[in-house]
Chain A
Amino acid sequence: MAVLELKQVTKIYQKGDQQVHALRGVDLTIEKGEFLSIIGPSGSGKSTLLNITGCLDTPTSGRVIYNGKELGKMKEKGLSDYRKDNIAFIFQSYNLIPVLTVQENVELPLVIERKHSKKEMAAMALKIIELVGLKGMENRLPKEISGGQEQRVAIARALVKKPLVVLADEPTANLDSETAEDVIALMQKINLERQTTFVFSTHDPRMQKHARREIVLRDGAIVSDERK
């Protein structure tokens, strides 16, 4: 079943008098439970594709269909609401809220979602914190844990509301080899156990090795789409 479909998606940025074609008619279908990596050189359109996939940006033309619902023409408010309910992000530099504890950071998407009681939110957060191996660190601030642990918190934060798709932008770029392997293993485990769809852009060969589908972008177009 297709979770996400991009049909003839283009994105053109205006830089002064010049037009920059970031995406040129991209067609892409992502199925539920995929573990998909997007690779390509700098300026190939990876970030733009990820932004449009994550409803952070809108295409210049083409269609974006999530679970059968077309989002391409939605305004910011509608996209924001859709993101809130269905999409989660993992960032290269973790981007945890520095003044919130591990548990509060993990609870944050649920707080924004406003669908659960305080008690439910705490229970959901603690469960996922245990899943990512950070039990006992709930009350620590981001500055009190390591980079690898921060990324685990970011993963927990992304997964706590059981999103349709998790989008990760270079999730292992700031981690040492051992920690990166741990994080990849964790993402794979969750992908397999929960059938959560993961889409990540990466330059990291370790990450590419684990991807079950690899899309190569060049000059805003998909030049290769390989399932392993």
Chain B
Amino acid sequence: MHTIIKIAYRNLLRHKRRTILTGIVISFGLFLYIFMDSIMNGLDRGSMDNMINLSTSAVQIYTREYDADKESYPLKYGLQDLAGIEKTLCAHERVKSVTPRTRFLGELSNDEESMPVIGTVVDPQKDKTVFKLTDHLVGNYFSEENEREIILGKDLAREMNVEPGGFITMYALTSYETRNADDFKVVGLFNTTDPALNKSGVYITFRAANSFLDLENTVTELNVQLKHRINFDNLLDDMHDVQALVTKELPNLRASSFKELGAGILALVKGKKNWGAGMTFVFLLIAAVGIVNSVLMSVYERIREVGVLRAMGMGGKEITWMFMCEGIMIGFVGSLGGVVLGVASVFVLTTYGWPLDKIYGDMYIDTAGFPFWGTIYGEWNIPLIIGVFIFGMLTAFLASLPPARKAARMEVTQALRFV
């Protein structure tokens, strides 16, 4: 066996250029897969994090009555004993922060036209601990006074022809279900990755809402932010734990996690994973073709050598192993190269990210939540990296088998005559 490995190894060195090229083909195929997987997972994670950080939070808590009628954003089902609920939630080790929000339906109007909007009442300071609206802000956030100040989506502002510093009129039903109107000063605009939010979202403070909606500090939902998890599945588990906590400790309330609130995007991510499996096949096919080609060339170049070895009494099995060793060695080096390159690229992607805004400038693409505005960060997928290495080796093994067997089955007399 030692001699067989020695012959295989030295033959690879004998044809350095071909070996290096085949190795590069395999490495490139596997590297591309690891890199793409990291980017795709990063995009998925970015999309889901965006949704959590901008509109849904990880877990929402409201009364059961509100939950039954939440499509109409009723103001009458406020949460009681907010401090007690917050205390219970913050006792959970994975809970990072909690903020109150109250949503309402309204209508924005300038002198010429009006647009329906979904309004959100926020506590300016606490909201920043759960949501990242300020990361997407053009202009200012709410001032200390925050009286009759409004922040709205960039697209909505464009439609309403209003800019930061300008005034806009908003209509809405108060908590007593009477129609009210008031002028608000636009302090800032937000341009998020959520097109719906950009087109119809407005934010005002509780202080402004107390007079505008007769809200009396009514909070219809509590939004919970959880501590960061590298693996998104772990984050989903944390959300489930918090839901379970609410069910147990606060039985009158209802908790909805991102699993329900972001069901659409989760289904999209799952669909993309199937596409990823197809992509693997293509990349590994490239690698397999490289190995088959290399081993076949090796077999054809050494037909006489095979004849000599067979004439000396070397068995078919040993001949097969000799050529398979070459394929496996190329596969090992190629797979290792692919994994090293892949790991390096994922390290760069996870550490420094891919600054799309610097590469593509101020491009805006309506991408159902894909973060085309900032930096994409990759995701580590260790089982996939190990799997890719094993798969690369397995492909090398299987790809070198047919040409190796072809060499072993050659007739000795034919092989010796081969020029």
Q: Which of B3, B6, B318, B413 is within 8 Å of A51, CB to CB?
A: B413
Which residue from chain A places its CB closest to the CB of B308 in the assembled complex?
A95
Chain A residues with CB under 8 A of B305:
95, 97-98
Is residue A131 within 8 Å, beta carbon to beta carbon, of the partner chain? Answer: no
Chain A residues with CB under 8 A of B3:
104, 108, 111
Question: Given A98-B14, A99-B11, does the pair A108, B312 have CB atoms closer than 8 Å?
Answer: yes
Give the CA-CA distance A178 to B13 in the complex, in Å: 35
Chain B residues with CB under 8 A of A112:
309, 312-314, 318
B313 touches A81 (CB 8 A): yes
Q: Which of B315, B413, B416 is within 8 Å of A80, CB to CB?
A: B315
Highest count of chain B CB atoms <10 Å: which of A77, A98, A99: A99
B293-337 interface with A by 8 A CB criterion: 304-305, 307-315, 318
Is residue A85 within 8 Å, beta carbon to beta carbon, of the partner chain? Answer: yes
B313 touches A113 (CB 8 A): yes
- A86 shortest CB reach to chain B, Å: 9
Question: Given A56-B413, A100-B7, does the pair A95, B312 have CB atoms closer than 8 Å?
Answer: no
Chain B residues with CB under 8 A of A93:
304
- A98 shortest CB reach to chain B, Å: 7
Question: Given A83-B313, A95-B305, does the pair A57, B413 have CB atoms closer than 8 Å?
Answer: yes
Which residue from chain B places its CB closest to the CB of A93 in the assembled complex?
B304
Give the CA-CA distance A160 to B230 in the complex, in Å: 64
Chain A residues with CB under 8 A of B250:
none
Contact indicator per residue, chain A 66-89, by CB within 8 Å of chain B (1) or not (0): 000000000001001101110011
Give the CA-CA distance A84 to B312 in the complex, in Å: 5
B6-24 interface with A by 8 A CB criterion: 6-7, 10-11, 13-14
- A38 shortest CB reach to chain B, Å: 16
Is residue A220 within 8 Å, beta carbon to beta carbon, of the partner chain? Answer: no
- B199 shortest CB reach to chain A, Å: 70
Contact indicator per residue, chain B 407-419, by CB within 8 Å of chain A (1) or not (0): 0000011001000
Chain A residues with CB under 8 A of B315:
77, 80
Give the CA-CA distance A202 to B210 in the complex, in Å: 113
Chain A residues with CB under 8 A of B318:
112
Chain B residues with CB under 8 A of A108:
3, 309, 312
Number of B interface residues at 8 Å Cβ cutoff, please give it: 22
Chain A residues with CB under 8 A of B311:
54, 56, 83, 89
**SS of B interface (majority):** helix
B396-414 interface with A by 8 A CB criterion: 412-413
Chain B residues with CB under 8 A of A51:
413
Highest count of chain A CB atoms <10 Å: which of B307, B312, B318: B312
Chain A residues with CB under 8 A of B312:
83-84, 88-89, 108-109, 112
- A53 shortest CB reach to chain B, Å: 12
Question: Given A56-B412, A85-B313, A99-B7, does the pair A91, B14 have CB atoms closer than 8 Å?
Answer: no
Question: Given A95-B304, A99-B10, does the pair A56, B313 have CB atoms closer than 8 Å?
Answer: no
Chain A residues with CB under 8 A of B313:
80-81, 83-85, 109, 112-113
The count of A-to-B residue pairs whose CB atoms sit within 8 angstroms is: 62
Chain A residues with CB under 8 A of B314:
80, 84, 112
Which residue from chain B places its CB closest to the CB of A80 in the assembled complex?
B313
Which residue from chain B places its CB closest to the CB of A50 in the assembled complex?
B413
Give the CA-CA distance A112 to B313 in the complex, in Å: 7
- A149 shortest CB reach to chain B, Å: 18
A91 touches B11 (CB 8 A): no
Which residue from chain A places its CB closest to the CB of B12 in the assembled complex?
A99
Give the CA-CA distance A91 to B413 in the complex, in Å: 12
- B7 shortest CB reach to chain A, Å: 6
Give the CA-CA distance A80 to B315 in the complex, in Å: 7
Chain B residues with CB under 8 A of A89:
308, 311-312
B412 touches A100 (CB 8 A): no
Chain B residues with CB under 8 A of A85:
313
Chain A residues with CB under 8 A of B6:
99-100, 104
Which residue from chain B places its CB closest to the CB of A52 in the assembled complex?
B413
Chain A residues with CB under 8 A of B304:
93, 95
Give the CA-CA distance A104 to B4 in the complex, in Å: 12
Which residue from chain A places its CB closest to the CB of B415 in the assembled complex?
A56
Contact indicator per residue, chain A 55-70, by CB within 8 Å of chain B (1) or not (0): 0110000000000000
Q: Which of B7, B10, B308, B412 is within 8 Å of A91, CB to CB?
A: B308
Question: Given A80-B315, A97-B7, A98-B14, does the pair A91, B310 have CB atoms closer than 8 Å?
Answer: no
Chain B residues with CB under 8 A of A99:
6-7, 10-11, 13-14
Question: Given A84-B312, A97-B305, A112-B313, does the pair A56, B10 have CB atoms closer than 8 Å?
Answer: no
Which residue from chain B places its CB closest to the CB of A85 in the assembled complex?
B313
Contact indicator per residue, chain A 105-124, by CB within 8 Å of chain B (1) or not (0): 00011011100000000000
- A173 shortest CB reach to chain B, Å: 14
B201-222 interface with A by 8 A CB criterion: none
Highest count of chain A CB atoms <10 Å: which of B11, B304, B318, B413: B413
- A157 shortest CB reach to chain B, Å: 8
Q: Which of A91, A109, A113 is within 8 Å of B416, CB to CB?
A: A91
Chain B residues with CB under 8 A of A81:
313
Give the CA-CA distance A109 to B307 in the complex, in Å: 14
Can you add 15 more A-B contacts, CB < 8 Å, to A95-B308, A109-B313? A51-B413, A57-B413, A80-B310, A80-B313, A83-B313, A84-B312, A85-B313, A91-B308, A91-B416, A95-B416, A97-B7, A97-B309, A98-B14, A100-B6, A112-B314
A-B contact pairs, 7 of them (CB 8 A): A80-B313, A83-B312, A84-B313, A95-B304, A95-B305, A95-B416, A99-B7
The 10 closest A-B pairs by CB, nearest first: A84-B313, A99-B10, A95-B308, A83-B313, A111-B3, A56-B412, A112-B314, A89-B311, A51-B413, A109-B312
